[in-house]
Amino acid sequence: MPESAVPPSPQPSAASIAADTPPRRLSALRGLLPFLRPYRARIALAFVLLCLGSATLLLVPLAFRDLVDFGFGGVAGVAGTATALDGHFLQLFALAAFWGVVVAARYYIVSWIGERVTADLRSAVYARVLGQSPEFFETLQTGEVLSRLTGDATLIQTVVGSSVSMGLRSLFQFLGGMVMLAVTSFGLFALNLGLMLGLAVPIMLVGRRLRRLSRESQDRIADASALAGEILNAMPTVQAFTQEAEEARRFAARSETGFVAAIRRTRVRAGLTALIIAAVMGSIIFVLWVGAQQVRGGELSTGELAAFVLYAALVAGGAGTLAEVWGDVMRAAGAAGRLLELLQAEPAIREAAAPVAPRRLAQMTIRFDHVGFAYPARPQLRALDDICLEIAAGERVALVGPSGAGKTSLFQLLLRYYEISAGAILIDGQDIRSLALRELRRDIAIVPQDPVIFSASALDNIRYGRPGADDDAVRAAARAAGADDFIARLPEGYDTFLGERGTRLSGGQRQRIAIARAMLKDARLLLLDEATSALDAESEILVQQGLDAAMHGRTTLVIAHRLATVQRVDRIVVLDGGRIVEVGTPADLRRQGGLYARLAALQLDH
Ligand SMILES: Nc1ncnc2c1ncn2[C@@H]1O[C@H](COP(=O)(O)OP(=O)(O)OP(=O)(O)O)[C@@H](O)[C@H]1O
């Protein structure tokens, strides 16, 4: 069996993703490395610019020292002429101008990297999410995915596109400033450093707490998005039941939870900032105090003290920014964790490592061999039980039975949306688990119970069935599905925009678009899930003719509640409680006097 060759996945499943997972460590950011790697050259350039900028900035206090000591003639014996003064000012200005250019260039490159990496990351996560099986979407709400794709990705963008560079700059500024302070007076510097190291321990502890709170805050925001996503999709129902105020209240409550989480985080972060600034400033003021003593004692020149003050300011500024950036990096680590979870999610349906080529007989044959199935969400309930059924090439089979009998589930299994728990499904004699999913689904056209219309034109909506199809083919499919008439009457005909989720169409019109789409696909197996249920009697006859044409010479499975629509099929399979209870031609089944005969007597004999 191909699936036995697939080891159990160590990757997170949808269920574990949906649940509140523990906070990610900083190492979550390591997952971003593959996204940074393609831009190494730019990153290196940004780094060089960063070093240049920091070095320039660190030269400014030296130029300042010279200005004070020599330019103003502060040091005895050195001529303080006007030209020397001009020269020193020019030097200072040149440094400032160069610094400006370097900072601008770095800003551009780093922002570019941030935008690029985020766009790449978003696309990669989105593509991964699209590859997930339906089970994934049962557990993870779309609003949640959207929140991760937008909110979390933006956090990462802030960090990659500015905070990291800001942080590095501040780090250089901080370290460079420290070195320069050390050069001026090593003893004082050592004292200063000792003080700071002592304070590093509480700062790290607070930082850890901040990381956990950051993740929590992001999760709460995602909760609110998930709720809004669901409700906005169901507005007509919400309004019909006049639940607007209640829904608004529910959203406000979740937003409030988000607010509380965010404030909790902000409080800790504010405390952390205060802690760091107080620590650094305190140490530096202490050092300055000693410096001032030294000037008084003649050990230090005024210019040196001026430079000293500037370095001290650089160090303090650097430390302050570092604290801020550290907070951002922590938030980004939480965000990266959430995004990378999506990126690492493994679809519940795994393709065989070496899929076999589909046999593709002219007409498809299907065999259900003792198939048993339970939905992952309800493992104890057998939606299908010991299904054995052979469908011959080109045969039309109707599935009937009470609601919840398992008819739609059979379709879902044919499309391999879910993995069966027992038996096998064979198409043209090949186990569907041995085929590539793409190949399997290429062969199946489905008209679902609740057809989906995309926010695009009528033409493009039908073309979704076969993206390469030309306009004539699309119109032909529309004619066959009985959709041509009403599309022609739309304001801009086939180019009419159908509105998001087809809200500008009636149920029957949506159904006909879906039928046209399936017909255009021209697949070997046609699955109709109550395809004509939303049509009036007249359109139903028209569409039925189209469907008859589509079914001609094609293996077809039809789900129908209204038995009148399936009188011309070759065989009827009656399902009840997940089991096949009767199989036969409509006439046979009526004679047998079982479930079908009872349903038929209710519906057909008036
Ligand atoms: N995603 C799901 N997760 C868990 N259980 C499900 C899921 N989808 C369907 N079921 C359950 O599986 C059983 C069979 O459902 P199925 O949709 O196949 O019935 P059906 O015969 O198509 O019904 P209907 O005629 O009403 O569409 C039902 O008991 C249903 O509640």
Query: Which residues are near ligand 1 (CB < 6 Å)?
Result: 138, 375, 377-378, 383, 401, 403-409
* H/E stretch holding 10: none
Q: Please state the atom number of ligand 1 nearest to the C-alpha of residue 406.
A: 18
The one-letter amino acid at 329: V
Lowest mean pLDDT among 189-193, 263-267, 367-371: 189-193
- pLDDT of 600 reads 84
Residue nearest to atom 7 of ligand 1 (CA): 375
pLDDT per residue as tens digits for the range 248-302: 999 999 999 989 999 998 998 888 888 777 777 777 787 778 778 877 888 777 7
The one-letter amino acid at 272: L
- pLDDT of 474 reads 92
pLDDT per residue as tens digits for the range 149-170: 888 888 888 887 778 778 888 8
Pocket test for ligand 1, best of 135, 380, 407, 418 (most atoms within 8 A of CB): 407
401 Cα: distance to centroid of ligand 1 (angstroms): 12
pLDDT surpasses 90 at 370: yes
Residue nearest to atom 14 of ligand 1 (CA): 406
pLDDT per residue as tens digits for the range 333-363: 878 888 888 888 888 888 888 888 888 888 8
Top pLDDT among 17 and 324 is at 324
pLDDT per residue as tens digits for the range 108-129: 998 899 889 889 988 998 998 8
DSSP 492: T
DSSP 383: S
Instruction: State the pLDDT confidence band at 396, using cuts at 50, 70 and 90.
Output: very high
Q: Which two tokens stand for residue 78?
A: 């050195």
Q: What percent of the chain has pLDDT over 90?
A: 23
Instruction: State the pLDDT confidence band at 25, using cuts at 50, 70 and 90.
Output: low
pLDDT surpasses 80 at 72: no
Rg of the chain's alpha carbons, rounded to an integer?
Answer: 35
Residue nearest to atom 30 of ligand 1 (CA): 404
Q: Please state the atom number of ligand 1 nearest to the C-alpha of residue 412.
A: 18
d(CA 77, CA 258): 67
pLDDT per residue as tens digits for the range 578-587: 999 999 988 8
* 87 closest CA partner among 56, 111, 63: 63
378 Cα: distance to centroid of ligand 1 (angstroms): 11
pLDDT surpasses 60 at 74: no
pLDDT surpasses 50 at 606: yes
Instruction: State the pLDDT confidence band at 503, using cuts at 50, 70 and 90.
Output: low
Complex confidence, ipTM:
0.93
* pLDDT (mean) for 532-537: 73
Q: Which two tokens stand for residue 476?
A: 């032909």
Residue nearest to atom 16 of ligand 1 (CA): 406
Residue nearest to atom 2 of ligand 1 (CA): 375
Domain boundaries, the chain: 10-344, 354-443+526-536+556-606
pLDDT per residue as tens digits for the range 409-445: 999 999 999 999 999 999 999 999 999 988 999 999 9
pLDDT surpasses 90 at 555: yes
- pLDDT of 330 reads 77
d(CA 369, CA 551): 24
Pocket test for ligand 1, best of 409, 528, 561 (most atoms within 8 A of CB): 409
CATH of the domain spanning 354-443+526-536+556-606: 3.40.50.300
* 153 closest CA partner among 111, 126, 110, 119: 119
- pLDDT of 22 reads 43
Most confident of 139-148, 483-492, 527-536: 483-492
Residues 538 and 499 sit within 8 Å (Cβ to Cβ): no
* pLDDT (mean) for 184-209: 74
Q: What percent of the chain has pLDDT over 70?
A: 91
406 Cα: distance to centroid of ligand 1 (angstroms): 6
Instruction: State the pLDDT confidence band at 4, using cuts at 50, 70 and 90.
Output: very low
Pocket test for ligand 1, best of 139, 375, 381, 574 (most atoms within 8 A of CB): 375
Domain 10-344 in CATH 3.30.390.10: no
Residue nearest to atom 12 of ligand 1 (CA): 383
The one-letter amino acid at 352: A
d(CA 357, CA 514): 29
* pLDDT (mean) for 547-551: 79
| Total residue count of the chain as it appears in this document | 606
- What is the average pLDDT value for the chain, to the nearest integer? 82
DSSP 23: P
pLDDT surpasses 60 at 18: no
Q: Which residues contact 456 (CB under 8 A, 6 or more apart)?
A: 497, 498
- pLDDT of 21 reads 45
- The pTM score is 0.73
Instruction: State the pLDDT confidence band at 6, using cuts at 50, 70 and 90.
Output: very low
Listed in sequence order, the DSSP H helices in 469-536 are 471-480, 484-489, 507-521
d(CA 512, CA 451): 9
* pLDDT (mean) for 5-23: 41
- pLDDT of 135 reads 81
575 Cα: distance to centroid of ligand 1 (angstroms): 12
